[in-house]
Amino acid sequence: MWTNLTILTLVVVQRMAELFIAHRNTKRLLDNGGVEVSSGHYPLIVAFHAVWLAGLWYLVWGHEVIWPWAFAYLVLQAARGWIIAALGSRWTTRIIVVPGEALNTSGPYKYFRHPNYMIVAAEIFILPLVFGLWLYAAVMGCINLGLLFWRIREEEAALKPLRNQLPPTD
C-alpha cells in the first residue's frame, strides 16, 4: 500500500511542479505580448485532472502495483521531460500565441504535431493501469480524449497563421 501512496504522491508533486513552471512561463509569455486564446475549456481540463487524480487516490486502496505499467508510465515521464525541454520557456498549460514568434519544430515537435497531448492521453490511461484499474482507465481515457480533441481543435485554429509561415518540409 505504501508503494501506491508513494507513486501517487510523486505524481502530485510532479503535477504541482509542472503547474508552477506553466504559471511562470504563462506570465512571461503574456508579459512579452502573448495572447491567451480559447481559454473557455481550460477550467474543464483542470477539473478533469483534479477528479482523475482524486479518483486514483480513492481507488488504489488494496490494489497491487503492476510494475510493467509503472515502467511504461516512467517512460512517459521521460518523454514529457523531453517535450518541456524542447519548448523551454514556451511550455505552458494554456494556449498562448506570441505574435511574431515562430512555431517550435525541434525535439519531439520535429516528429509530431502535438506530442504533449499524446503523452497526456497515454498518462491518463496508463497510470490507472499501474493499479489494475482497467475500467477507470477506459472511462477516464475516453473523457480525456474528448477534452483533448476540443483542445487540439482550438490550438490548431490559434496556431494556423504561424503554421502558414513554416517552410515546406522534405
Read off the pLDDT of residues 76-114 as tens digits, 9 standing for 90 and up. Answer: 999 999 999 999 999 999 999 998 888 888 899 999 989
Between residues 40 and 167, which one has the greater pLDDT? 40
What CA–CA distances, in Å, run from 144 to 6, 60, 96, 150, 160?
24, 20, 21, 10, 24
Q: Retrieve residue 163's grid coordinates.
A: 503554421
Residues 6+ apart with CB under 8 A from 106: 86
pLDDT value at residue 164: 65
Using a cut of 0.75, tell me whether the model's pTM lies above it: yes
Reported as a single tens digit per residue, the pLDDT across 42-65 is 999 999 999 999 999 999 999 999
pLDDT value at residue 102: 82
Distance of alpha carbon 134 from alpha carbon 140, whole angstroms: 10
H/E element, 35: strand 35-36
pLDDT value at residue 40: 86
